[in-house]
């Protein structure tokens, strides 16, 4: 395809020091990245989903000459943490290890210290404007409308074929529900989970009242909450909570839900555009977290008086950047000014799809969305 993924050189450098974990949505390019990384070297790629590969993994059947061992989807092995710990501790002077998976490896590490100090972690996201602008090595142009229509997953994006994209999307969702989720969770009625999922695709940009969805499809509210966590864990979607200085309160309030695949979003251009921006922001803060060690969080803002802002990024638990998303409205949202003052946030921007340039007034900037989202992932979050 003529491009190198944005975390590739970081992974290569980290491999010299520790194991490297790469997680991310199914078919976002993890396997391609790893195979490209080990291309031309004496290395070995093994996938837990392949029965023959599984036996090689369990027997650790690789030679001393194979310097990089890439193990894909090994988190599906119930004893994967102890297996990797023992393997790394006895072989780290001979081999380098890359571990990849389509479920949140960080979720599985919580409460466990067996892997402590033995790995660096990276989260790979689908393509975004910044990555396409800075990593693409051919002259084909790619813009925001392409990502809105095809999403950022490499196959449908580069195909530029609507029929192929729909067929690809259907197959991907089937694999997630019939294979990935089934292998990780004990869910008896997977078809009902699919209905729950498609209900969520119609609610992008709005607060999701799980009890209402639970009532509509006749499941318990606690089941709806658990299913949302399953979909989040398998990188099918991600949810953000309202910002509050009392985080315990924020967690029980209604989340907003977004999809890694923009093509899954049902609704008008406003919902699709907000979902696209949410993907760009999450990718940006995950990249900054993984590369710098700083802590970032993505929230939204809403109070009882009707003030609302689409996104708030916190850096090390401190409100850092307010972001409002509009398709064409260039009139600055009054809520940006309100929360900028109330939370003492230094930076506030309104990203507008159908606007050129940048205009700043009283500390709030109206910015062309494509220009801002195309900035290098290394850039700071604020506008300067």
- Using alpha carbons, select from 135, 154, 172 the residue that is nearest to residue 264: 172
pLDDT at 1: 47
pLDDT in tens, 2-45: 467 999 999 999 999 999 999 999 999 999 999 999 998 999 99
- Using alpha carbons, select from 300, 307, 263 the residue that is nearest to residue 278: 300
Q: Rg for the chain (alpha carbons), in Å?
A: 21
Q: Which residue ranges form the domains of the chain, and what is each CATH number? A: 8-124 (3.40.50.300), 130-203+230-373 (no CATH)
pLDDT at 251: 52
| Predicted structure pTM score | 0.93
* Residues of the chain below pLDDT 50: 1-2, 107-111, 139, 384
DSSP helix/strand/coil, 207: strand
CB 102 within 8 A of CB 182: no
pLDDT at 187: 87
pLDDT at 98: 96
Tokens in use for 330? 């260039």
pLDDT in tens, 109-132: 444 556 778 899 999 999 999 999
pLDDT in tens, 299-341: 999 998 989 999 999 999 999 999 999 999 999 999 999 999 9
CB 365 within 8 A of CB 349: yes
- Using alpha carbons, select from 239, 236, 101, 261 the residue that is nearest to residue 169: 261
3-class SS shares of the chain: helix, strand, coil, % to 5: 45, 20, 35
């Amino acid at each position: 395809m003529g491009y190198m993924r944005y975390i590739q050189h970081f992974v290569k450098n980290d491999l010299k020091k520790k194991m490297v974990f790469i997680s991310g949505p199914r078919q976002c390019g993890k396997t391609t990245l790893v195979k490209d990384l080990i291309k031309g070297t004496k290395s070995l790629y093994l996938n837990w989903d392949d029965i023959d590969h599984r036996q090689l993994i369990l027997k650790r059947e690789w030679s001393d000459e194979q310097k990089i061992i890439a193990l894909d989807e090994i988190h599906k092995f119930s004893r994967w943490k102890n297996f990797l710990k023992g393997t790394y501790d006895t072989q780290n002077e001979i081999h380098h290890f890359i571990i990849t998976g389509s479920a949140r490896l960080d979720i599985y590490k919580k409460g466990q210290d067996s892997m402590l100090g033995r790995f660096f972690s990276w989260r790979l996201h689908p393509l975004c404007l910044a990555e396409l602008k800075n990593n693409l090595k051919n002259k084909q142009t790619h813009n925001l409308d392409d990502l809105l229509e095809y999403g950022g997953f490499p196959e449908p994006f580069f195909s530029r074929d609507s029929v192929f994209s729909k067929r690809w999307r259907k197959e991907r969702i089937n694999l997630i529900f019939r294979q990935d989720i089934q292998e990780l969770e004990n869910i008896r009625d997977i078809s009902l989970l699919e209905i729950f999922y498609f209900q969520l695709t119609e609610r992008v940009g709005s607060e999701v009242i799980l009890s209402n969805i639970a009532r509509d499809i006749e499941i318990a509210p606690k089941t709806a909450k658990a299913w949302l966590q399953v979909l989040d864990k398998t990188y099918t979607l991600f949810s953000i909570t309202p910002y509050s200085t009392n985080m315990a309160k924020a967690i029980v309030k209604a989340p907003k839900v977004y999809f890694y695949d923009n093509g899954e979003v049902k609704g008008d251009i406003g919902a699709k555009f907000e979902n696209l921006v949410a993907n760009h922001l999450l990718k940006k803060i995950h990249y900054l977290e993984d590369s710098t060690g700083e802590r970032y969080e993505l929230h939204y803002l809403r109070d009882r008086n009707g003030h609302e802002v689409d996104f708030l990024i916190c850096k090390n638990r401190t409100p850092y950047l307010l972001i409002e998303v509009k398709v064409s409205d260039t009139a600055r949202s009054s809520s940006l000014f309100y929360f900028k003052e109330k939370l003492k946030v230094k930076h506030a921007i309104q990203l507008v799809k159908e606007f050129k340039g940048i205009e700043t007034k009283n500390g709030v900037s109206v910015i062309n969305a494509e220009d801002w989202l195309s900035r290098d992932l290394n850039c700071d979050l604020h506008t300067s």
